Amino acid sequence: MNLKNLNVKIHKSIDNNLKNKKIKKIYKIFENSLRINSNFIVALSGGADSLALSYLAKIYSIKNSLNVKFFIVDHKLRNESTLEANTVKKILAKFNIKVEILTWRGIKPKKNIQSLARKKRYELLLSKCEKLGVNNLLFAHHQNDLFENFFIRILRGSGLRGLVSFNKASKIRNINILRPLLDLNKKDLVFISKFIFNFCVKDPSNYDNKFLRVRVRNLLTELEKEGLDNKKLFNTLKNLQSTDSAIKFFVNKNLEENSFFYLKKNQSILSMDFFHQPNEIVFRSFSNVLKMISKNYYHVRGKKLDKIILQIREKNFSKATLGGCVIKKVNKSVIIAKEHKI
């Protein structure tokens, strides 16, 4: 059998699973959520939700004649991680889903492990996107992750932007971060993983109560037993996202009217009118400028940013450093430049 006929056979095998009414319904939700017409990369882990994403993404690529590449990050934080990554690669190969393993090399952290591992995963995947010239990166975050993130941010005292930070689409380093599973719950994805692959990797850290996310996940399970209505919670998040979108409109307006970006020197010049807007508008606008100039992955923490904004509004402010940036007040303008550390 030649390669062309082999691919046709595999595609038919994948398509045949869509005859299952539940899978067909899930795929339709996924398809309506994704809606892209250019090549993309899929980030995998080996969990049930990740495997479901690989299957749904493969169908989407076939139906839309798009090139898709699949990557799994081996963090090497556990002795079994390399074997698990290779097992996932071998199983998915049977479905013509070709996976490349990206390895986190170097000394591993002893504290804040999950956060740093997540950051490294993004770095490896974003670098691969840039190298291949692909602007779309898909992650397997689903509705349950959305709820977990919401409660984690509440516990941390986050503002509106933090509470709704899990969007279907965002952008990092000019790469579109897409989460097409946010309208689907964990149970639907487990169903696909079992029905199609009859396999998934179970990461023991997902059951370790020393991690906040695990404790929040257990809390949500208990709240569900007490009658927590996920539909109402989802609608609440949608309403918050609508409010967030309105704020973003005025943030963009402030940036357009009261700031100038000097590309050659990688500097931003802000007029004092930039700081004479409602506090939330100023806070977000200034945070965006600092992130753009410093090219940091995260925004500056809230309390530090609030303090600098208050100082800038005072007449005696002259200079400060924050988030990898130097902030200078010159006459009636504020100049933001990248901090060059010796």
- Amino acid 114 reads Q
> Is 242 a domain residue?
no
Residues 72 and 29 in one domain: yes
Mean pLDDT of 86-112: 89
> Is 234 a domain residue?
no
- Look at residue 177 and give its three-state secondary structure: strand
DSSP letter assigned to residue 181: B
Residues 192 and 325 in one domain: no
Residues 220 and 273 in one domain: no
Write out the residue range of the structural domain in which residue 108 sits: 3-228
Residues 224 and 252 in one domain: no
Residues 207 and 308 in one domain: no
| pTM of the entire predicted model | 0.78
- Look at residue 211 and give its three-state secondary structure: coil
- Which of 17-21, 185-189, 251-255 has the least mean pLDDT? 17-21
In whole angstroms, what is the distance from residue 112 CA to residue 120 CA?
Answer: 12
Q: Write out the DSSP string of 263-293.
A: GGGTEEEEEGGGGSS-HHHHHHHHHHHHHHH
Residues 96 and 196 in one domain: yes
Give residue-wise pLDDT tens across range 243-285: 999 999 999 999 999 999 988 888 999 999 999 999 999 999 9
Strand order in the sheet with 259-262: 259-262, 267-271, 333-338, 325-330, 319-322
Give yes or no for a contact between 103 and 74, defined as CB atoms under 8 angstroms apart. Answer: yes
Instruction: Report residue 199 as tokens.
Output: 């396999």
Give the per-residue pLDDT at 60: 94
Give the per-residue pLDDT at 13: 57
> Is 235 a domain residue?
no
> Is 239 a domain residue?
no
Q: Taken in order 109, 115, 121, 122, is the CA torsion positive or negative?
A: negative
> Is 236 a domain residue?
no
Q: How confident is residue 9, by pLDDT bands cut at 50, 70 and 90?
A: very low
Residues 192 and 328 in one domain: no
> Is 36 a domain residue?
yes
> Is 68 a domain residue?
yes
- Total structural domains within the chain: 2
CATH number at residue 329: 1.20.59
Residue of 123, 138, 128 lying closest to 55 (CA atoms): 138
Counts for the chain of helices (H) and strands (E), in that order: 12, 11
Q: Write out the DSSP string of 68-115.
A: EEEEEEE---STTHHHHHHHHHHHHHTTT--EEEEE--SPPPSSSHHH
Within 8 A by CB and 6+ apart from 306, the residues are: 283
Q: Check residues 148 and 98 and name the one with the higher pLDDT.
A: 98
In whole angstroms, what is the distance from residue 2 CA to residue 95 CA?
Answer: 16
CATH number at residue 177: 3.40.50.620
Domain termination residue (choose one: 170, 193, 228)? 228
Residues 253 and 223 in one domain: no
